[in-house]
Amino acid sequence: MLVIDTDVLSIHHIFTGDKRYKKNKEFLSMVKTKESYTTIFNLLELCGILATVGDKKQVEELYRMYFASEEIKLLLPSTIDKVSNISWSEISEEMLEIIKRGTRFGDASILWICEEHDVKYFITWNIRHYEGKTSIQCFTPEQFLNNTKGLKR
């Protein structure tokens, strides 16, 4: 399972003039036939970025597009299925454990879902936010493109 971070998606949808856009696009083209995901927190973060540079209609369209997407699926917290058996304090305690590894709330919430789902690869341009803070293998899109032959899915 491969999870794509918000920064990769924001370059794809919003910051198309970014110098990394070409590699980003190549990466997304390659993984759209794979088992690719992003978390609900990534989607909400992406919508927040778009809301600051776009209009409300675009935000709504983007949000709905990801819920309907077959190429990049959404990962939701698995504990939501057990919501009657778990309290929000228990959920926040799980996230606090990840925050104590040295991550900010947004990154911790994303890692929380990824670790719940035993994600193997996490793709981000912000490697430094995640390396050493999770057992998930972290790559930039460019690193992933360069190493895909040696990676087992």
Say which CATH number the domain at 135 has: 3.40.50.1010
For 22, 23, 89, the CA distances from 26, given in Å and listed in that order, are 6, 5, 41
User: Worst-scoring range by mean pLDDT, 32-41, 95-104, 130-139?
Assistant: 95-104
Bigger pLDDT: 148 or 132? 132
The verdict on residue 98 lying in a domain is: yes
The verdict on residue 153 lying in a domain is: no
The predicted model gives 71-94 an average pLDDT of 73
Domain that holds residue 99: 2-147
The verdict on residue 152 lying in a domain is: no
As for how many domains the chain has, the answer is 1
pLDDT in the model for residue 87? 66
Bigger pLDDT: 152 or 76? 76
Cα separation, 2 vs 25, in Å, equals 16
pLDDT 10s digits, 5-46: 999 999 999 999 999 999 999 999 999 878 899 999 999 999
The verdict on residue 57 lying in a domain is: yes
The verdict on residue 125 lying in a domain is: yes
What value does the mean pLDDT of the chain take? 88
